[in-house]
Amino acid sequence: MAKRSVIPLLICCIAALGSAFAVTDPTRPTDPAAYFGTASTVDSNGWALQSILFASDRRIAVINGTRVKEGDRIDSARVVRILDSQVLLDTGGRRLTLHLLPKTVKVRP
């Protein structure tokens, strides 16, 4: 009777050890952000341009998680212009340009 209970106990121990030493899947795609960085860059003033949408009748940008159009206000700034890869903001007489892509593009060697 003791021999019959030892085998299931060994199987449970082996299964527990196998999950403790989990192996990552070598065929899983890598995270592109680990190699190329994220698309949003945070400006020195805390502004982050995350996305720009162009349609035939509108232009929309996502800044700090908020969707804005030209003329809209976000915090203390007004969206002056939305271009292909940048947004111009007016913050009380001072113009800021937020870029969608970083100034240097990282490539994997």
**Sequence spans of domains, the chain:** 32-99
Write down the pTM of the prediction: 0.55
pLDDT per residue as tens digits for the range 57-102: 889 999 988 999 999 999 889 999 999 889 999 988 899 999 887 6
Instruction: Please identify which residue in the block is written with the tokens 């196998």.
Output: 18
Domain 32-99 falls under CATH 2.30.30: yes
Tokens of 3: 């021999």
Least confident of 5-9, 30-34, 88-92: 30-34
Q: 10 Å Cβ neighbour count for 42?
A: 12
Q: In the beta sheet, which residues pair with residue 52?
A: 61
The reported pLDDT for the residue numbered 8 is 77
Instruction: List, for residues 47-68, the tens digit of each pLDDT value.
Output: 888 889 988 888 999 998 899 9
